[in-house]
Amino acid sequence: MRIGIQTSYSGDFRQTAQEIVDLEQVGLDVAMVAEVYTFDAVSQLGYLAAVTDRVELMSGILPIYSRTPALTAMTAAGLDLVSDGRFTLGLGASGPQVVEGWHGVPYDAPLARTREVVEICRSVWRRERLEHAGPKYTIPLPADQGTGLGKPLKLINTPVRERIPVLLAAIGPKNVQLAAEVAEYWEPIFFHPEKAHDVWGASLDAGKAQRDPALGELGVVAGVPVAIGDDVEGLLEFVKHGVALYVGGMGAKGKNFYNDLAVRYGFAEEAATIQDLYLAGRKEEAAAAVPDELVRQTSLIGPESWVAERVAAFAEAGVTVLTAQPLDDTPAGRRRTIETLARIAR
């Protein structure tokens, strides 16, 4: 199992980059940069490519709606170039709150769009002339008029790799099936090793049945809050606030994918309570309503012996990359956490 880190949304990214350089020396394998409604991920990934030597760089994630497919392909090829082939393109549908509220574009047909974006990217990286004929990205002109744009184009430059790895973030049944079919990596959220198969097993099996063998085995990337020690139990309460934000506040009732996941994990009553409280502005009470079991089983918080048991459980459930969200409040503490995790995982 490889060990990664999810970079912070806030703070001075230059300091974060220097910390990743330091962590690279103690066993860090992957650095993942998110793009929500923060600074863009691409400029930060380019910065990391320049200052690191070995770690794999991942976008985690770029929303499929905020860039055209061709621009996404161009961006990935550029990042793969400046990182000497160390980039993985992480994509996801995000959610209506970010896509419509922040980017101002319609949140529609996430499955069809995701499939086509991946297809177009791979076509661009192979330097094929771009004549994609899918239902979402075809220019709507009559067939006898063609595109009206002359000869189709292909990428001018030759990419470092003609197949840059693709990661798809997905938690819904159909989205997970798509990830298992077309991506090199799948990234769930709030991964519960003991319940993952019950929730996602059928979708993963269905997707893998249609998978091109050339893609290899599906890698699984799971993000986990981490605190290792004999006196860290109180941090479980801290993590509950983040869970409450997603389960309670990331979308309206009936449109919150994270709430749906909590329900599928068996916490239907608790998920409803969390959402009611959060949407009513009672955020502290919403956090207090998050079940201890959900936090404990989806985190790595406790003594090293406990963490080692949980790392083994994640591996047994198919996780190939653990992206840590260290809860230590100092660079030295985060270094110890990553060093310990790397030792346990190997």
What CATH code is carried by the domain that includes residue 103? 3.20.20.30
Please check whether residues 108 and 205 belong to one and the same domain. Answer: yes
Give 101-146 as a DSSP string: TTS-S----HHHHHHHHHHHHHHHHTT-------TTTS----GGG-
Instruction: Indicate whether 213 and 239 sit together in one domain.
Output: no
Shared-domain flag, residues 41 and 165: yes
Range of the domain at 215: 2-226+303-345
Residues 168 and 285 grouped into a single domain: no
Output the pLDDT for position 346: 87
**Dihedral (Cα; 117, 120, 122, 124), 10-degree rounding:** -130
205-249 pLDDT tens trace: 999 999 999 999 999 999 999 999 999 999 999 999 999 999 999
pLDDT class for 145, splitting at 50, 70, 90?
Answer: low
Residues 196 and 256 in one domain: no
Confidence (pLDDT) at 11: 81
Q: Are strands 300-302 and 321-326 parallel, antiparallel or unpaired?
A: unpaired
Verify that 320 and 253 share a domain, yes or no. no
Do 337 and 212 fall within a single domain? Answer: yes
- Considering the domain architecture, whether residues 222 and 293 belong to the same structural domain is answered as no
Are both 295 and 269 inside the same structural domain? yes
**76 and 143 in one domain?**
yes
- Measured in whole angstroms, how far is the alpha carbon of residue 30 from the centre of its chain? 12
Mind listing the pLDDT tens digit for each residue in 273-301?
999 999 999 999 999 999 999 999 999 99
Same domain? For 253 and 338 the reply is: no
Question: With contact defined as beta carbons under 8 Å apart, do 34 and 9 qualify?
Answer: yes
User: pTM for this one?
Assistant: 0.93
Q: Are residues 195 and 241 in the same domain?
A: no
H or E stretch covering 75: helix 69-82
How many domains does the chain contain in total?
Answer: 2
